[in-house]
Amino acid sequence: MPPTSDDNTGHGERGTASVELVAAVPFLLLALAVAAQIALAGQALWSASVAARAGARVVATDVLDAAVRCARANAVVNGVADRVEVLLGDGFAPVRGRVFDLICTSPPQMPTPPDRERADATAAADNGGPDGWALLDRVIAGAPAHLAPGGRLVFTLFGFLGVKAALARLHHVGFEPTILGQETQAFPRIGYERIEHIRALDAEATLPPHGWPATVERYVIQGAWQGTGQGTRTEDPAR
């Protein structure tokens, strides 16, 4: 039997008040504190309020209405509703034509065999397509059009997707890639049901070849945009 974990998903506590989560993302908060305006694709639940509490103006997005409503409530609870704009939609669609200094995301990235695809909210939070990169690749490809010159893209990464692969993907589209942080986390329970699928994708050999892994390395990867932003930074028209 695989080890047990309280966290079925491998990502942050959904719906927990952001004030309790500040300590969980110190490296991220550090990056956010220097940003004038931030987009947080897929990060709607907690990071929006964390960033706004650090003084940033934030646009948070999520494809799920429940996540959007939660992020709005979270901003109110934390007294930052005037600095957090939460939008519903797929990927960068809700911020079309807008440019940011920093884009942060923790997108779904659990490799998902074709017979495990589902359409419910939990799947939306976890499933990253057959190789785990479906959303990450869209974020990396779409970010340059939404970054000001010198802007940064920051995202989380399960180690078994491959740090070298992530850095290479960023470099390929014109980012200067670095690793901002690393943490050893409990192996996500959902990963045990598809462990052989994940092992088959683990090109950088991060997992033990046999048995149940107890932990997974989680990284925060940054890409500094070397090119020119393709849009013009816009303010929230409602402000």
Ligand X SMILES: C[S@@+](CC[C@H](N)C(=O)[O-])C[C@H]1O[C@@H](n2cnc3c(N)ncnc32)[C@H](O)[C@@H]1O
CB of 231 to ligand X, least distance (A): 19
Check: CB of residue 56 under 8 Å from CB of residue 83. yes
CA neighbours closer than 13 Å in the CB half-sphere of residue 168:
5
Amino acid at 120: D
CB of 124 to ligand X, least distance (A): 4
Beta carbon nearer to ligand X, 120 or 232: 120
Beta carbon nearer to ligand X, 107 or 176: 107
Beta carbon nearer to ligand X, 107 or 132: 107
CB of 237 to ligand X, least distance (A): 21
For residues 224 and 176, give the distance between their C-alpha atoms in angstroms, rounded to a whole number.
5
Beta carbon nearer to ligand X, 7 or 195: 7
CB of 41 to ligand X, least distance (A): 6
The residue nearest ligand X at its CB is: 12
For residues 130 and 139, give the distance between their C-alpha atoms in angstroms, rounded to a whole number.
17
Binding region for ligand X (CB under 6 A): 11-12, 14, 41-46, 61-64, 67, 90-91, 106-108, 124-125, 135
For residues 63 and 44, give the distance between their C-alpha atoms in angstroms, rounded to a whole number.
9
| CA R_g for the chain | 17
